[in-house]
């Protein structure tokens, strides 16, 4: 038997299960992501029965999040936003700042270390552009055109502000054990690399426009290559590097076509990202994690949904304030990345503190172990 047959069989099985679970979730009126997470939980080592190869899942998940954020970066057009959504240039960064401060304060009160609280607070302040895009393109949506436009513009600016803040945080807190000077040098070098990619990649894609197979290969390879080089040699977190790589080529004439070609691959690998995420959930730990779940839910509702609703009403954007606030009242793939950075760097609270009789420190500590084992 071919030595790779088990891996291929497992990949096919997981994709088929994910498709069926996604369909079932949508039939119940839930996002397909819930079904993907359920499949990951089903094949995790924490539930009885079949256990998937977590190393293989982790690699596919990394590819998925890189392509996901690379495509989101391509979709963002800062110059167009500056022309068409000037009030959002103030409102969205202000909301990120307010939510970040409130959420960080809440995390500090619950016993997280300052660096970890800052990263988790920033993750709560941001919403998923991918989720927002799906909302605005859904056939069952109840939003009007203006609300869709404001939703997209607000979430895109959140990404820009959040990525910039995350890069600064990575430098300040020294993720990976690097000194502040080395981290600054790495960020500057990566920005130079992204600037070079912004010139070279569109130039190359423009010459391959009629070669559909080569155009696709270069589109995928450029995202993976720039993200990989940024992470491997300049110390930039992989997902951050992928987002900046996509952002670098967003102004090029071929950006829209590159994004369209990437979508099928993004969707395929993104499914594996959510399956892998479900595979690190230990149901036995859920009772202990309930205080954190309620705390994060409160931070999202009070620190983001309420803040967006008030700002939208005061600013008179022409959008429906409640729909805008609810549409942005979620956290997404980039928030998971920031949380993973915090846990992977060991920014967890000591096990001395408790909240309503629930131990706080061990929950974060165990979560770090789950992430590393993926």
Predicted confidence (pLDDT) at residue 101 exceeds the cutoff of 90:
yes
Q: At what angle do helices 286-300 and 114-125 cross, to 10 degrees?
A: 60
Q: What beta strand segments (E) does the chain contain?
A: 354-355, 358-359
In sequence order, the 6+-apart residues with CB closer than 8 A to the CB of 72 are: 129, 130, 159, 243, 246
Please, which contacts does 128-134 make with residues 24 or more away whose CB atoms are closer than 8 Å?
Answer: 128/155, 128/330, 128/331, 128/332, 128/333, 128/334, 128/335, 129/72, 129/75, 129/76, 129/155, 129/156, 129/158, 129/159, 129/332, 130/68, 130/72, 130/332, 130/333, 131/330, 131/332, 132/327, 132/328, 133/75
Closest to 161 (Cα-Cα) out of 91, 84, 236, 238: 91
355: helix, coil or strand?
Answer: strand
Q: What is the mean pLDDT of residues 142-154?
A: 81
Q: What is the mean pLDDT of residues 348-359?
A: 42
The residue segments making up the domain with residue 176 are: 5-373
Positive or negative, the Cα torsion across 224, 266, 261, 199?
A: negative
- Report residue 368's pLDDT band, with 50, 70 and 90 as the boundaries: very low
Q: Count Cβ neighbours within 10 Å for each residue of 338-369 and write b for 16 or more, e otherwise.
A: bbbbbbebebbbeeeeeeeeebbbebbbbbbe
Give 13-44 pLDDT, tens digit per residue: 888 999 999 999 888 888 788 899 899 889 88
354: helix, coil or strand?
Answer: strand
Phi, psi of 19 (to 5 degrees): -65, -45
Give 244-280 pLDDT, tens digit per residue: 778 777 767 777 778 777 777 777 877 888 888 888 8
C-alpha span between 324 and 310 (Å, rounded): 11
- Report residue 96's pLDDT band, with 50, 70 and 90 as the boundaries: very high
Q: What is the mean pLDDT of residues 179-206?
A: 78
Q: Report the pLDDT value the prediction gives residue 364, as an integer from 0 to 100.
A: 37
Give 55-72 pLDDT, tens digit per residue: 777 787 778 777 777 877
Q: Report the pLDDT value the prediction gives residue 90, as an integer from 0 to 100.
A: 87
Q: What is the mean pLDDT of residues 316-337?
A: 83
Share of the chain above pLDDT 90, in %: 13
Predicted confidence (pLDDT) at residue 361 exceeds the cutoff of 50:
no
- Report residue 146's pLDDT band, with 50, 70 and 90 as the boundaries: confident
Q: Report the pLDDT value the prediction gives residue 358, as an integer from 0 to 100.
A: 37
Predicted confidence (pLDDT) at residue 176 exceeds the cutoff of 60:
no
C-alpha span between 227 and 224 (Å, rounded): 5
In sequence order, the β-bridge partners of residue 358 are 355
In sequence order, the 6+-apart residues with CB closer than 8 A to the CB of 10 are: 52, 53, 56
The domain tally of the chain equals: 1
Q: What is the mean pLDDT of residues 80-101?
A: 81
Predicted confidence (pLDDT) at residue 303 exceeds the cutoff of 80:
yes
Q: Report the pLDDT value the prediction gives residue 174, as an integer from 0 to 100.
A: 62
Q: Report the pLDDT value the prediction gives residue 80, as an integer from 0 to 100.
A: 63
Q: Report the pLDDT value the prediction gives residue 221, as an integer from 0 to 100.
A: 86
Which structure tokens are listed for 264? 């099928």
The CATH number linked to 282 is 1.20.1530.20
Predicted confidence (pLDDT) at residue 363 exceeds the cutoff of 60:
no
Q: Report the pLDDT value the prediction gives residue 344, as an integer from 0 to 100.
A: 64
Higher pLDDT, 287 or 184: 287
C-alpha span between 250 and 89 (Å, rounded): 18
Per the prediction, the chain carries an average pLDDT of 78
C-alpha span between 124 and 105 (Å, rounded): 12
In sequence order, the 6+-apart residues with CB closer than 8 A to the CB of 22 are: 32, 33, 35, 36, 271
């Amino acid at each position: 038997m071919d030595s790779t047959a088990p891996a291929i069989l497992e990949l096919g099985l997981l994709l088929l299960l994910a498709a069926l679970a996604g369909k079932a979730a949508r039939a119940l009126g839930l996002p397909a992501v819930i079904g993907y997470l359920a499949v990951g939980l089903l094949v995790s080592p924490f539930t009885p029965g079949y256990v998937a190869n977590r190393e293989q899942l982790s690699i596919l998940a990394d590819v998925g999040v890189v392509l996901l954020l690379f495509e989101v970066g391509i979709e963002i057009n800062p110059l167009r936003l500056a022309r068409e959504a000037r009030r959002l240039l103030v409102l969205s960064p202000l909301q990120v700042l307010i939510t970040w401060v409130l959420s960080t304060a809440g995390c500090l009160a619950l016993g997280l270390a300052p660096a970890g609280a800052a990263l988790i607070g920033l993750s709560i302040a941001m919403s998923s552009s991918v989720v927002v895009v799906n909302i605005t393109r859904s056939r069952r949506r109840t939003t009007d055109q203006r609300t869709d436009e404001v939703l997209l513009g607000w979430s895109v600016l959140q990404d820009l502000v959040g990525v910039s803040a995350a890069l600064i945080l990575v430098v300040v807190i020294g993720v990976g054990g690097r000194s502040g000077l080395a981290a600054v040098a790495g960020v500057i070098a990566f920005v130079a690399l992204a600037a070079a990619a912004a010139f070279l990649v569109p130039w190359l894609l423009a010459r391959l426009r009629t070669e559909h197979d080569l155009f696709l290969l270069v589109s995928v390879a450029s995202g993976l290559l720039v993200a990989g080089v940024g992470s491997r040699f300049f110390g930039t977190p992989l997902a951050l590097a992928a987002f900046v790589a996509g952002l670098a080529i967003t102004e090029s004439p071929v950006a829209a076509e590159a994004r369209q070609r990437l979508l099928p691959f993004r969707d395929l690998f993104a499914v594996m990202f959510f399956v892998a995420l479900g595979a690190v959930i230990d149901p036995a730990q859920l009772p202990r994690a309930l205080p954190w779940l309620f705390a994060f839910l409160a931070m999202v509702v009070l620190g983001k949904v309420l803040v967006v609703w008030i700002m939208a009403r005061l600013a008179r954007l022409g959008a429906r304030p409640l729909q805008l606030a609810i549409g942005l009242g979620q956290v997404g793939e980039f928030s998971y990345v920031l949380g993973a950075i915090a846990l992977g760097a060991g920014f967890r609270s000591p096990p001395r503190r408790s909240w309503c009789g629930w131990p706080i420190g061990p929950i974060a500590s165990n979560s770090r172990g789950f992430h590393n084992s993926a």
